[in-house]
Structure 1
Amino acid sequence: MTRLSDEGGDQRGRHRPSVPVHGCITSMDITSGDADARHIAIDGTRAATLLEADVVRLNLGLDTPLSPDLAERIAYHHEYRLAWRATLKRLERSSRSQQDVLDHLLERGHEQEVAEQVITTLVSNGLLDDARFAASAAESIARRTPGSASYIESRLLRHGIQPAQARDAARDAAGDPVEIATEIARKALRSLHTCTPETQVRRLHGRLARRGFELDVIEAALRRLELDLPE
């Protein structure tokens, strides 16, 4: 039997081992560096590595006989552990959306059913919360690259946030559109001091439009800066 590796692959099924359907479990050693997991050996050969909770769930023990059904479940939970650990490491670096986690696991070659189960468990444990992620991401976007609510919403959608949650979070984080647009234009105006008034207005208009502001908001912001708008 090929010795298993925890390293990911690009092809589907790469993470799920071929567990023997006959024989019996001969050892269940605790893994080094992961006290919550055990190496499962069948007839003296390591076949899979499972989370301790899954060992209990499957009622595994020394001399447990293998069957096709049990072999399939052991293989599933081996892959589940890999997906679970990979996702926890990813969440340690930054919060993520459910869609982001799903896409990442599928790209790593995990099966859809495994990826969805990881997400279900994370959500039930409060470790994955799209509404909380959307609010945090919206506030971060509004702080780093302020713009209209529609601009922030479009950025959230790229992170895999559902439309309704993205819309609500963007609305809460956006603030007063005229005030935000005015501040953006005020800062941008500093680099346009050598330009003609017409050029200043044209460039500021374009910048604010790219940040998602409507025409009436843009004009109100530019008037606050006492810029002459074309008739």
Structure 2
Amino acid sequence: MGASDQETVNDRLARAAAALAEAEGVAGARAGGAWGSGSGERPDWAPPPDDPQAVVPEADADAVAKAIVLRQLSMAPRSRAQLEKKLRQRGCDDEIAARVLDRMTEVGLVDDEAYAQMLVRSRQSGKGLARRALAHELRKQGIDQAVADEALGQVGAGDERVKAEQLVAKKLRTMRGLAPDVQARRLAGMLARKGYPGELAWRVVRDAIDGLPEHQRD
């Protein structure tokens, strides 16, 4: 994720968290200090860690869930599915998790569309992933197919070609002295792992290798 994306996410997180606290009267000291601030102190309303039968009041359970979600979002952008998984791992009731995530979606803290757009931009520009690999990444994060398709619309065939050429040119600089067939296999394999279609990969690789000075004839 680029620096500008991170700044945007952080700004939105701060504004949305403030709006959520103001709208619902969330006790910041209680929710933030409890399992959210990293202070290591357990509030008096929280059950002892060795008491699995202890019951947390529903209002407090909501505050704990909110603290967990806010902490996760402060570390990195997350999809709703990722947050649901984290809450489940922490023993949060499914109904409470759904209620908390619904409310945070309303105020813009949880936004799968924005998350998917950011993920596609960062993975395509940073790692050079093609649409097929990007689609796999979005599925892994639990993004709905319709939302994923819209985000993938940012990447056109021309974009894939340009990025593939950049990747090959960069890698080729480290492969001087290798036989052309070895270069071709390794470069095509690299593009395949990043999700590029075979026909496009081989065309880009062939053009790049043919364009090397040592392979050109007088």
**TM-score between the two structures when normalised by the length of structure 1:** 0.65
1:178 touches 1:220 (CA, 8 Å); kept in 2? Answer: no
Aligned length: 168
Counterpart of 1:33 in structure 2 is 29
2:132 touches 2:195 (CA, 8 Å); kept in 1? Answer: yes
- For residue 174 of structure 2, give the secondary structure of its aligned residue in structure 1: helix
1:202-224 CA-partner distances (Å, limit 9, x unpaired)? 11111111111112211221233
1:93-142 CA-partner distances (Å, limit 9, x unpaired)? 22211101100000011111111111101011111110001101111111
Greater per-residue helix proportion:
2
Rounded to whole Å, the distance in 2 between the matches of 1:128 and 1:32 is 19
Counterpart of 1:139 in structure 2 is 121
Distance 1:35 1:136, change over 3 A: closer
Query: How far 1:168 sits from its partner (Å)?
Result: 2.2
Matching residue's letter, 2:181: E
2:116 touches 2:143 (CA, 8 Å); kept in 1? Answer: yes
Counterpart of 2:60 in structure 1 is 78
Counterpart of 2:189 in structure 1 is 206
**2:105 counterpart of 1:92:** no
Identity in percent: 24
- For residue 33 of structure 1, give the secondary structure of its aligned residue in structure 2: helix
Matching residue's letter, 1:148: A
Rounded to whole Å, the distance in 1 between the matches of 2:169 and 2:187 is 9
- For residue 109 of structure 1, give the secondary structure of its aligned residue in structure 2: coil
Q: In the TM superposition, what are the counterparts of 1:1-231 in structure 2 within 5 Å?
A: 33-34=29-30, 48=45, 75-173=57-155, 176-227=159-210
Distance 1:133 1:203, change over 3 A: same
Query: How far 1:173 sits from its partner (Å)?
Result: 4.1
1:62-96 CA-partner distances (Å, limit 9, x unpaired)? xxxxxxxxxx9x82222111011111121122221
Query: How far 1:167 sits from its partner (Å)?
Result: 2.6
2:124 touches 2:134 (CA, 8 Å); kept in 1? Answer: yes
Matching residue's letter, 1:169: A
Structure 1: tracts of 5 or more residues without a match:
1-29, 38-45, 50-71
Rounded to whole Å, the distance in 2 between the matches of 1:180 and 1:47 is 55
- For residue 108 of structure 2, give the secondary structure of its aligned residue in structure 1: coil
2:31 touches 2:66 (CA, 8 Å); kept in 1? Answer: no
- For residue 192 of structure 1, give the secondary structure of its aligned residue in structure 2: coil
Matching residue's letter, 1:214: P
1:179-227 CA-partner distances (Å, limit 9, x unpaired)? 2111111111112112111100011111111111112211221233143
Rounded to whole Å, the distance in 2 between the matches of 1:114 and 1:181 is 45
Rounded to whole Å, the distance in 1 between the matches of 2:136 and 2:142 is 10
- For residue 106 of structure 1, give the secondary structure of its aligned residue in structure 2: helix
- For residue 173 of structure 2, give the secondary structure of its aligned residue in structure 1: helix
1:132-167 CA-partner distances (Å, limit 9, x unpaired)? 011011111112211211111211222221222223
C-alpha RMSD over aligned residues: 2.8
